[in-house]
């Protein structure tokens, strides 16, 4: 099982304040990672994630507040991680946003907000961290996409979110192709419907389309992403790059 060992690795997790990001932080802590840099925009929630992580394991933990849609904040996060821990082995690009609405009603500012958070921030973090990983000759970037990058969700409409996640998937493949010869792996996880405080998967009005249409007839919980996260962060996936791994209870097979 040594191929899953994370004990010498340092990871950055964006969007670590709550939801999937918090679960990813707890997962890597429980898996024995050496250091975590937790990034987010809400100081209170980020402090709570830090407390929970430190209760799970003895590891190095630091936090960084800021809006990753700004280039200088991405660069500052990378610099802070290197100053604190001296290395970056794993990037979990998790920060995200979603706005529901009919396409004809979507406002420009809503569209740009979703694209900025879900795609532009992912790109800038990949570039900033990728520069360090390429120089080091190793590293694993894990972008959090979505099954929404492959299908159109219903009954809610979310054109900006769907477009942004499809772009994240193809950005992942593009960077994997370019950086593969340089020792850097780039993959994505595409979750299906997951129960978080921001996703009302258990509301009866969504049962017909979100639950009944899935082969497993249920929604997922964030901990069910843990296995694939550890796999991609570790040397167990040493020959895996450019992959988008779907974790959706089979939803996208139909």
Active-site residues: which are they? 161
Other CB atoms within a 10 A radius of the CB of residue 225 amount to 20
Task: Answer whether 21's CB lies under 8 Å from 196's CB.
Answer: no
Task: Answer whether 162's CB lies under 8 Å from 152's CB.
Answer: yes
């Amino acid at each position: 099982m040594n191929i899953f060992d994370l004990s010498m690795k340092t990871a950055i997790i964006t969007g670590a304040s709550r939801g999937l990001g918090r679960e990813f932080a707890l997962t890597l802590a429980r898996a024995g990672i050496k250091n975590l840099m937790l990034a987010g925009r809400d100081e209170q929630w980020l402090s709570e994630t830090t407390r929970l992580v430190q209760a799970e394991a003895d590891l190095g933990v630091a936090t960084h507040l800021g809006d990753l849609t700004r280039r200088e904040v991405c660069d500052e996060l990378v610099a802070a991680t290197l100053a604190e821990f001296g290395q970056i082995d794993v990037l979990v690009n998790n920060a995200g946003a979603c706005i529901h609405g009919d396409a004809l009603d979507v406002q420009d500012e809503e569209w740009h907000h979703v694209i900025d958070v879900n795609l532009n921030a992912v790109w800038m973090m990949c570039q900033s961290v990728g520069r360090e990983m390429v120089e080091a000759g190793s590293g694993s970037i894990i972008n959090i996409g979505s099954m929404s990058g492959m299908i159109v969700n219903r009954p809610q409409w979310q054109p900006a979110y769907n477009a942004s996640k499809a772009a994240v998937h193809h950005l992942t493949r593009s960077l994997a192709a370019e950086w593969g010869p340089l020792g850097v792996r780039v993959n994505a996880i595409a979750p299906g419907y997951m129960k978080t405080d921001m996703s009302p998967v258990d509301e009866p009005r969504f049962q017909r389309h979100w639950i009944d249409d899935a082969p497993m007839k249920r929604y997922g919980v964030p901990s069910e992403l843990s296995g694939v996260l550890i796999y991609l962060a570790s040397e167990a996936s040493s020959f895996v790059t450019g992959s988008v791994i779907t974790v959706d209870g089979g939803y996208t097979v139909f």
